[in-house]
Structure 1
Amino acid sequence: MKNAVFGAVLALAAGLSPAWAEMTDIRFTLGWKTQGSDAPFLLALSKGYFAEEGLNVTIDQGEGSAATVTRIMGGAYDAGFGDINAIIQNAAQRPGEAPVMVYQLWNRPPFAIVTPKTSGIETPADFAGRTLGGAQGTPTTRLFPVFAELNGIDLASVKQENMAPNLQEPMLIRGDIDGAFVFTITSWFNLIANRQDPAKDYNWFQFEEYGMDLYSNGMMVSRALLTDKPEVVAGMVRAVNRATLEIAKDQDAAMEAIMAFDNLVNPELERARLNFALTNLMNAPEVDTIGMGDLVDERLTRSIGIVAKGYGLERLPEASEIFDRSFLPPVTERAFAVEIMN
């Protein structure tokens, strides 16, 4: 099923017996169509972790991690899984209206430029005279001028073509473009779906390795929820934290939750995507010290500067406008250890 509502029924199954009046309805949007990386939320839903916190959560599929922000700002959703960089952009333009990140999941960004090894592009300097393609408005595309400046690339020497996201990998494979502005967690699996070997046959210029020290997706909540119902936010964070630690050690349970939510997904593909997220996006060294869900304020401040430059923002929001750690459980309860199951 595409949507799922678990409320008092799940709570009763867990032996909690709450009254309907005690449950708080929460509308939650994912970042995209159902994917393995959504497992923290879907497991919290299916196992009743939200219900144990008195939350009747409805989860819908998304339209893009940046759209999560606009969906919440528009009032259609209370919370969601989306990109912290989109929060930065909207907080700069509409102070006090943008959602706030309360549980950081992807502490490494998925932004990259992917090139076929046959192209001969081995360093950023090799982009000169080449054609790169990407979807207009995505963080990877919008932040490329900053990437170019940091890595000594003359922007005028690089031809850029705008294209729909679903055309990037096919055009790359055909040789119509020399490289693509992508999200690794999406493009890696798109290449596999096109019978390509992303590890063997492609080079990945990951932004974080070239001076772009950015955060990415996590759980965000509306300003209204944060202000009016802080106890609800705390309950959501506890439930998601519990589920996140569980999926790191038990991908079987994660996949059961994903398939229960949407039985049309490819379980093999989405399990691989989940493992990709666990090992490539959720394992920054800082997590060993600060625990899952938190971030480093100084690093966030630097990333705000990068985003402001790439998006031409006139105002730089403070880190406190973007992220609120006050709802996080103690760091000892957020120790993150990944055990990939075969």
Structure 2
Amino acid sequence: MLKPLLAALALGALVSAPAAAADTKIKFTLGWKTQGSDAAFMLAKDKGYFKEEGLDVQIDQGEGSGATVTRIMSGAWDAGFGDVNAIIQNAAQRPDAAPVMVYQMWNRPPFAVVTKAEAGVKSPKDLEGKTLGGAQGTPTTRLISVFAKTNGVDMEKVKLSNMAPNLQEPMLIRGDIDGAMVFTLTSYFNLVLNRQDPDKDYRWLNFGDYGLDLYSNGMMVSRKLLKENPKAVAGLVKAVNRAAIEIGKDQEAGMKAIEAYDNLVNLAVEKRRLQFAYEKLMVSPEAAEIGLGDIKDDRMKKAIDIVVQGYGLPRAPEPSEIFSREFLPARAERELVYTAN
């Protein structure tokens, strides 16, 4: 009688024991196709940092850093890597639907006008009399009028030519346009892939250097996730911060994670893109002061005003509608030390 009794007790224990909690599933969209600058998300997944936070994160390729916002607003994605300025644009009109930035990664904006060095454009005023090519609706083209006004450029003397994004660098190289209104992280490497030297043979008028002190890409989440599962949001931020800080000291670790996610990428180019993102967009005096992931509210307020002007928005959202620091790890855990390797 003993064996049947033990078997019955064991079966009862199995039935009554609580099931192990399943990891929370998160659908995450990148800003574009796989790039080295996405390494923190891949590393957090590859090394199990998301898993440690009880998260099962599915990473999907994107359609543009602005499209990240509309993807999340559609309800099909929970979180993503995208442009805070697109949040501002949507929050001005649909405040209850726009996502919230919870980890600001790019402290500096990647918006710029690039010209050939031989064109002699050394300042914004030199753009007068030139033809600039740009893709309609991008932040750079939408904000060019604010850039011009801020720097005393008469836009009546500047010709704007609308074109597909993939035509900008080829037309600039051929001399069909004098300059292109671009996203530096993309354009710089499009020139590299076209066997150009973007440092020696081109000049870059970065918006951030000429009065448009904007923030840019970071990790954002849906308002639904924010409200229903703040623990998952905190876990996302903790895992991505851990990976981003690690990559600052070891870019090879980031590239291994990129390759594991997409083995078709050009590793040499994407490593340079990863380092470009850190050197040009993430490392800054402000980031050194407040730590990676955070913002300054007064600066964000000014940035919001710039975007409202550039996009002709009906109202200026408050910084608290755009960004939440509620889920940031302690300042000491967000100390970015970057060493190119």
1:121 Cα shift?
1.5
Task: Verify: 1:230 aligned to 2:230, yes or no.
Answer: yes
* RMSD between aligned residues: 1.0
Q: How many angstroms apart in 2 are the aligned matches of 1:184 and 1:177?
A: 17
Describe the superposition over 1:183-216 as per-residue Cα deviations: whole angstroms up to 9, x where unpaired.
Answer: 1111110001111100000110000010000000
Alignment length (residue pairs): 324
Counterpart in the other structure of 2:250? 250
Provide the secondary structure at the position in 2 that maps to 1:168: helix
1:113 Cα shift?
0.2
| Uncovered stretches (5+) of structure 1, i.e. residues with no partner | 1-17
1:81 Cα shift?
0.2
Counterpart in the other structure of 2:319? 319
Counterpart in the other structure of 1:259? 259
Task: Verify: 1:174 aligned to 2:190, yes or no.
Answer: no
Provide the secondary structure at the position in 1 that maps to 2:200: helix
When residues 29 and 104 of structure 1 are mapped into structure 2, their CA distance, relative to the original with a 3 A threshold, is same
Q: How many angstroms apart in 2 are the aligned matches of 1:339 and 1:38?
A: 18
- Counterparts of 1:38-187 in structure 2, within 5 Å, are 38-187=38-187
Counterpart in the other structure of 2:25? 25
Provide the secondary structure at the position in 1 that maps to 2:320: helix
Counterpart residue type for residue 228 of structure 1: E
Q: How many angstroms apart in 1 are the aligned matches of 2:224 and 2:93?
A: 18
Provide the secondary structure at the position in 1 that maps to 2:285: coil
- Counterparts of 1:305-316 in structure 2, within 5 Å, are 305-316=305-316
Counterpart in the other structure of 1:196? 196
| Uncovered stretches (5+) of structure 2, i.e. residues with no partner | 1-17
1:22 Cα shift?
2.8
Q: How many angstroms apart in 2 are the aligned matches of 1:20 and 1:254?
A: 31
1:54 Cα shift?
0.4
Describe the superposition over 1:220-247 as per-residue Cα deviations: whole angstroms up to 9, x where unpaired.
Answer: 0000000110011001000001000011
Counterpart in the other structure of 2:9? none
Counterpart residue type for residue 56 of structure 1: D
Describe the superposition over 1:107-132 as per-residue Cα deviations: whole angstroms up to 9, x where unpaired.
Answer: 00000000001112222111111100
Q: How many angstroms apart in 1 are the aligned matches of 2:225 and 2:20?
A: 20
Counterpart residue type for residue 207 of structure 1: F
Counterpart in the other structure of 1:5? none
Q: How many angstroms apart in 2 are the aligned matches of 1:144 and 1:273?
A: 25
Structure 1 length as normaliser, TM-score?
0.94
Describe the superposition over 1:295-319 as per-residue Cα deviations: whole angstroms up to 9, x where unpaired.
Answer: 1100000000000000000110000
Counterpart in the other structure of 2:301? 301
Counterpart in the other structure of 2:5? none
Describe the superposition over 1:272-317 as per-residue Cα deviations: whole angstroms up to 9, x where unpaired.
Answer: 0000001100012111111001011000000000000000001100
1:155 Cα shift?
1.0
1:19 Cα shift?
6.4
When residues 19 and 306 of structure 1 are mapped into structure 2, their CA distance, relative to the original with a 3 A threshold, is farther
Q: Mean alpha-carbon deviation: is it higher for 116-125 or for 72-81?
A: 116-125
Provide the secondary structure at the position in 2 that maps to 1:153: coil
1:20 Cα shift?
6.0
Q: How many angstroms apart in 1 are the aligned matches of 2:20 and 2:190?
A: 43
Counterpart in the other structure of 2:271? 271
Counterpart in the other structure of 2:8? none
Provide the secondary structure at the position in 1 that maps to 2:219: strand
Counterpart residue type for residue 305 of structure 1: D
Counterpart residue type for residue 133 of structure 1: G
When residues 325 and 153 of structure 1 are mapped into structure 2, their CA distance, relative to the original with a 3 A threshold, is same
Question: Which runs of structure 1 show a deviation greater than 2 angstroms over 4 or more consecutive aligned residues?
Answer: 18-22
Provide the secondary structure at the position in 2 that maps to 1:95: coil
- Counterparts of 1:1-16 in structure 2, within 5 Å, are none
**Considering only CA atoms, is the larger Rg found in Structure 1 or Structure 2?**
2
Counterpart residue type for residue 79 of structure 1: A
Provide the secondary structure at the position in 1 that maps to 2:313: coil
Q: How many angstroms apart in 2 are the aligned matches of 1:289 and 1:282?
A: 12
Task: Verify: 1:340 aligned to 2:340, yes or no.
Answer: yes
1:339 Cα shift?
1.0
Counterpart residue type for residue 301 of structure 1: K
1:326 Cα shift?
0.6
Counterpart in the other structure of 2:12? none
Counterpart residue type for residue 305 of structure 2: G
Task: Verify: 1:213 aligned to 2:197, yes or no.
Answer: no
Provide the secondary structure at the position in 2 that maps to 1:181: strand
Q: How many angstroms apart in 2 are the aligned matches of 1:19 and 1:190?
A: 51
